[in-house]
Structure 1
């Protein structure tokens, strides 16, 4: 018999576009494909204009209901030099009373709670209320494996991870080079490392994990994480891991003058001839690196669109909480003298932020110079666009290794950009390669095809998400039966 009311799902997102966008898109998928009533609880930074725009765009649709919780005051709780990772963990811990209140009082009572990795402490609330709960990992399965195995590494590895001579071994998965570890693992004495280990343990308290990848892309890692897999056995995991990706933002109608002018310019370019350059919602370069990048783009003699942000020395994620507040005139003063006038026929400069998914979907885009945030990486490969991998922070070094060395859909600098300034000649060479090299273009088309296939009815990701939806519905029906 058909349920009188649709199943109600509550999702929780921490601040930042890289967290908010995939949570929203996951919610939309439950609403569209499974007729769930979806409420998204978004803890926002209150300083990002783009974050506000995205929330407003969801509010105008009928797919999801948004509850916006302003970020708690952290003045007395974090130090000025605390990392973004620490700030996010403390933010979501302080938001727990608001989450508890909403989860207890919202009607109809949610059938399940899905939290992002910074919100795992809310799992305890769901358990107290006897509500199913899942963790949504917006990154990939190899990164999830490292996170879950980190408490074991913490016991067996002596000294700093970055000082190890051999890669860190993860049962059933590829090893991780010391220089590629997740940001919180860079310094075991830093506060964010303790927060990170707590997240690893928190994930295992859930009823299951949804991860933003698909079986054909990371079969080995997903097998290692699930029942019978080497990592699952090592950790004595009792929860399933579901590959439900790629979950990426879908293009939306944008009538702004900026997007119109970008699309008009792209329409005039040859197919797959333009490199899109962006370091995500939070990435920043040093002044010297920004100038070398400008010279490299010019020397490459390729067309480009560059989302430009003011340089900040030594802090690669300095724009994380402040996206979308700069002006073009402010950007120009950091570029080489005469650069803007010299490139006016071949390049476009955009301050701070652009409609990335719309740009990447245009036929003229032939490459993406990216910080390799997993959301941006998926937006690129699902549009068949090869990458120039330029990792900055978080798990981006792992992502760059994955796309360049395992998947073969990216080129990358010889040395990590966070360790050494990448010079203009190397940049120019990489830009030309990503535009002209046929092998990398053919490989990214294969990955694109696999991604689309996984999302179709009968595909691995469609089946995985359907299985989660069915489990939630069954749990909801059992609760109703018990009440009756």
Structure 2
């Protein structure tokens, strides 16, 4: 008797910053664990649609990875051998999975420390009456390093805006997940991972099991223009450990003030490194 492979559906949110890490995660489920995966892709008419199409038409995708573009999928027939892996901003899928008795996992592409903050945010929202940026001291997430007020992400700097309410809605639903898969690993963030697993606060929520599976990075890259080739040729000529790489995400941009701060930070970093060595 031939037993069919387990089937997992992976549902990322829109945007390359969500699609790329979920695609890489899906590929690893197929290649390393023998699981059939359906990657459910929300198609859009945004400028990134061309890059999305190129990414999903790669000849290197494994055979058991099925790309399903939504719409026009009307319904999915799922059974007890199925599971769903979804994005942080698609937690509404948890409700459907509960009705169908399907395990629903969250794949979080952020750090373990940020996952701890997300799990703590509902209590912070309930306990703090002022804006978080007006707090006199850093925010202390149980078991983790203090979060400096200036380091808070934009979505939580103003609790009156819709972006904050939408973010709070989704992170408040994290305990509904069967498990949380994070793109990190034990040796990188031992304190944060230990805290989420064992700190009494997180156990009381209760927090679902967490699975550090990182580092998951893009395994292949299509060179799109001459500038890409020139950049790689330049990098090949540099001495080992002599280049600092910075990335701002798939759609990251910096204001003039942020660029200025970055230049000063890098200058200070280089100066400190020179003093040490």
Give the TM-score band, short-chain normalised: 0.7 to 0.9
Cross-structure match for 2:115: 144
Shift of 1:275: 4.5
Specify the SS of the correspondent of 1:167.
coil
What is the rounded CA distance, in whole Å, between the counterparts of 1:122 and 1:37 in structure 2?
A: 20
What is the rounded CA distance, in whole Å, between the counterparts of 2:86 and 2:213 in structure 1?
A: 15
| Structure 1 residues 257 and 179, CA gap change in structure 2 (3 angstroms) | closer
Cross-structure match for 1:112: 83
* Pick aligned residue for 1:215 from 182, 186, 190: 186
Q: Answer 1 or 2: higher relative contact order, Cα 8 Å, separation at least 6.
A: 2
Task: Decide whether the 8 Å contact of 1:172 with 1:231 is kept in 2.
Answer: no
Structure 1 gaps of 5+ residues are: 71-97, 290-416, 440-484
Shift of 1:248: 1.2
Please report the TM-score for the alignment, with normalisation by the length of structure 1: 0.51
2:226 pairs with 1:232: no
What is the rounded CA distance, in whole Å, between the counterparts of 1:42 and 1:438 in structure 2?
A: 48
Cross-structure match for 1:56: 57
What is the rounded CA distance, in whole Å, between the counterparts of 1:169 and 1:124 in structure 2?
A: 31
Q: Aligned ranges for residues 218-297 of structure 1 at < 5 Å?
A: 218-226=189-197, 228-237=198-207, 239-252=208-221, 254=223, 257-276=226-245, 278-286=247-255, 288=256
Please, which moves more after superposition, 426-435 or 244-253? Answer: 426-435
* Pick aligned residue for 1:422 from 251, 254, 261: 261
What is the rounded CA distance, in whole Å, between the counterparts of 2:81 and 2:164 in structure 1?
A: 33
| Structure 1 residues 272 and 438, CA gap change in structure 2 (3 angstroms) | farther
Q: Aligned ranges for residues 304-383 of structure 1 at < 5 Å?
A: none
Structure 2 gaps of 5+ residues are: none
Cross-structure match for 1:134: 105
Shift of 1:119: 0.9
Task: Decide whether the 8 Å contact of 2:6 with 2:35 is kept in 1.
Answer: yes
Cross-structure match for 1:30: 29
| Structure 1 residues 112 and 167, CA gap change in structure 2 (3 angstroms) | same
Q: Aligned ranges for residues 18-97 of structure 1 at < 5 Å?
A: 18-46=17-45, 47-48=47-48, 49-57=50-58, 60-69=61-70
2:133 pairs with 1:162: yes
Q: How big is each residue's C-alpha offset from its partner over 1:227-246, in whole Å with a ceiling of 9 and x where there is no partner? A: x4233234233x21111111
Shift of 1:51: 2.6
Specify the SS of the correspondent of 1:422.
helix
Shift of 1:120: 0.8
What is the rounded CA distance, in whole Å, between the counterparts of 1:111 and 1:40 in structure 2?
A: 13
Shift of 1:125: 1.0
Task: Decide whether the 8 Å contact of 1:58 with 1:64 is kept in 2.
Answer: no
Shift of 1:18: 2.0
Q: Aligned ranges for residues 384-403 of structure 1 at < 5 Å?
A: none
Specify the SS of the correspondent of 1:245.
coil
Structure (1 or 2) with the larger CA radius of gyration? 1
Task: Decide whether the 8 Å contact of 1:172 with 1:230 is kept in 2.
Answer: no
2:160 pairs with 1:206: no
Shift of 1:155: 1.1
Shift of 1:184: 1.8
What is the rounded CA distance, in whole Å, between the counterparts of 1:160 and 1:37 in structure 2?
A: 46
| Structure 1 residues 280 and 119, CA gap change in structure 2 (3 angstroms) | same
Cross-structure match for 1:7: 6
Specify the SS of the correspondent of 1:125.
helix
Shift of 1:215: 1.4
What is the rounded CA distance, in whole Å, between the counterparts of 1:58 and 1:434 in structure 2?
A: 46
Please, which moves more after superposition, 252-261 or 42-51? Answer: 252-261
Q: Pairwise CA RMSD of aligned residues?
A: 2.9
Please report the TM-score for the alignment, with normalisation by the length of structure 2: 0.86
Shift of 1:262: 3.1
What is the rounded CA distance, in whole Å, between the counterparts of 1:211 and 1:147 in structure 2?
A: 13
| Structure 1 residues 172 and 275, CA gap change in structure 2 (3 angstroms) | closer
